[in-house]
Amino acid sequence: MIAKELTIGELSERSGVPSSALRFYERQGLITSRRTAGNQRRYHRTTLRRVAFIRASQSVGMPLSVIGGVLGFLPEDTPPTREFWLRASACWSEEINARIEKMERMRDRFTECIGCGCLSFEQCVLVNPGDALAEHGPGPRRLIEP
Amino acid sequence: MIAKELTIGELSERSGVPSSALRFYERQGLITSRRTAGNQRRYHRTTLRRVAFIRASQSVGMPLSVIGGVLGFLPEDTPPTREFWLRASACWSEEINARIEKMERMRDRFTECIGCGCLSFEQCVLVNPGDALAEHGPGPRRLIEP
DNA sequence: AGTTGACTTCAACCTTGGTTTAAGTACGAG
DNA sequence: CTCGTACTTAAACCAAGGTTGAAGTCAACT
């Protein structure tokens, strides 16, 4: 038989991701599907990998928008190359490391600040944080420009 | 003169926090106010400290619900003791450290997983994360039971 | 051919941490 | 007392990442 396509139910069961979430991912452009004559979705088998990548990336804290950006480099109907995985991995690691460092700085400042009892609006970096909410980084440059 | 109470505008200006946010904090029970005959809010001066604590805690990633839990131990009309600050600091540091460790584990698993190319639903811890979304920890035990 | 279960869409709803807006009321300076 | 500014409320809205439900259609088994 020719490579079997998956219905949304099958993809859902095999990935453990609810159909509603899969439809949501598709609306967001993270996955794509063919439609049958009756307007039902049929997924290429490689979509399983894409979904796995999405969930794994989410589990390390990546927002869907960024994941989508990276998946844009992955051709829809071919299995991802080993190189893709390696670059994605490097990219995520970098992001995670940046976040860890930021949290470490925060923790140290907090302890310091509390320790000296200075919690006031004029002096304290924590209370008037400049970079505290600067979450919108440049994203996966490494993957975009290999 | 007797210890001056603050209007919401004064509290807002002195803390740098918009009035809308202060009203929101009050609805959430994080701060309290007396009302004038005309139904306007008047804040005790110590509220400035509470607000500072709220913003500092937010800046290290604490959700308002948890901050509220901790502030529950701080009497409304007296300035916070040094001991309170120290315990709160210890409490937050612990939380932050836990989050950092979790992210480090995630990063390592991700690299490992990607490195071996195993990104599949049955084997991969990342794809079926047990603790990935276990954000609802026991909260500030250390402060509750000193 | 009929029935059942899986599929379709759209819209409403959830949480967190607020902001914005409208309509109305209070406070304080002059 | 009047005027302008500051205050009050409720309700609607934003982002993310979906879930839930209603109403209707498709696919497949018998």
Q: Could you give the CA distance from residue B40 to residue B34 in angstroms, rounded to a whole number? A: 8
- Rounded to an integer, what distance in angstroms lies between the CA atom of residue B16 and that of residue B7? 14
Residue B16 and residue A128: Cβ atoms within 8 Å? Answer: yes
CA distances from B136 to A62, A95, A139, B41, B131 (A): 19, 24, 28, 33, 10
Report how many helices (DSSP H) and strands (DSSP E) chain A contains, helices first: 6, 2
User: Is the Cβ pair A89, B111 closer than 8 Å?
Assistant: yes
The predicted structure's pLDDT at residue B125: 54
The letter for the amino acid at A113 is: C
pLDDT at B56: 86
Percent of the residues in chain B that have a pLDDT greater than 70, as a whole number: 75
Residue of A nearest to B95 (CA): A107
Residue of A119, A123, A143 to mutate for B, most B C-beta atoms under 10 A = A119
Task: Check A121 against B16: CB less than 8 A apart.
Answer: yes
Whether residue B33 contacts residue A75, with contact meaning beta carbons closer than 8 Å, is answered with no
SS3 A76: coil
**Rounded distance, CA B139 to CA B146, Å?**
13
Residue A2: band (very low, low, confident or very high) from pLDDT cuts 50, 70, 90: low
pLDDT score recorded for residue B118: 59
The residue that leads in pLDDT, A106 or A23, is A23
Q: Write down the residue that tokens 């080993």 correspond to.
A: A82
Under an 8 A CB cutoff, do A96 and B107 touch?
yes
Contact A28, A66 (CB under 8 A): no
pLDDT band at A33 (very low <50, low <70, confident <90, very high): very high
- Give backbone dihedrals phi and psi of B23, rounded to 5 degrees, phi first: -65, -40
Nearest by Cα to A31 from A54, A1, A9: A54
> What is the mean predicted confidence (pLDDT) over A118-143?
46
Count, in order, helices (H) and strands (E) of chain B.
Answer: 6, 2
Residues with CB under 7 A from strand C: A 7-10, 12, 19, 23, 39-41; B 18, 20-21, 23-25, 36-40, 58, 63-65
pLDDT number for residue B146 = 30
pLDDT mean over A36-47: 95
Reduced to 3 states (helix: H, G, I; strand: E, B; else coil), residue A132 is coil
Do B104 and A100 make contact, defined as CB atoms within 8 angstroms? yes
Task: Write the residue in A88, A97, A129 that is nearest to B114 by C-beta.
Answer: A88
Q: What is the pLDDT of residues B85-144, one digit of tens each?
A: 788 888 888 888 988 888 888 888 777 776 665 555 555 555 554 443 333 333 434 443
DSSP letter (8 states) at residue A35:
E
With CA atoms as reference, the chain B residue closest to A91 would be B111
Using DSSP's 3-state secondary structure scheme, residue B43 falls into strand
Distance from CA of A39 to the nearest CA of B (A): 28
- The separation, in Å, between residue A135 CA and nucleotide C14 C1' comes to 24
Substitution target in A121, A125, A135 with the highest count of B β-carbons within 10 Å is A121
pLDDT at A141 over 50: no
- Structural domains in chain B? 8-144 (1.10.1660.10)
Interface check A99 vs B, CB under 8 A: yes
* Backbone Cα Rg of chain A: 21
Residues 6+ apart with CB under 8 A from A61: A96, A99, B103, B106
Cβ atoms A105, A129 nearer than 8 A: no
Other C-beta atoms lying within 10 Å of the C-beta of residue A86: 14
At B105 the pLDDT is 85
Those nucleotides of strand C lying less than 7 Å from any protein Cβ are 6-9, 16-21, 25-27
Task: Using CB atoms, pick whichever of A55, A82, A120 lies closest to residue B127.
Answer: A55
Please state which of the ranges A71-80, A99-108, B49-58 shows the lowest mean pLDDT.
A71-80
pLDDT at A8 over 90: yes
| Range among A47-51, A102-106, A129-133, B74-78 with highest mean pLDDT value | A47-51
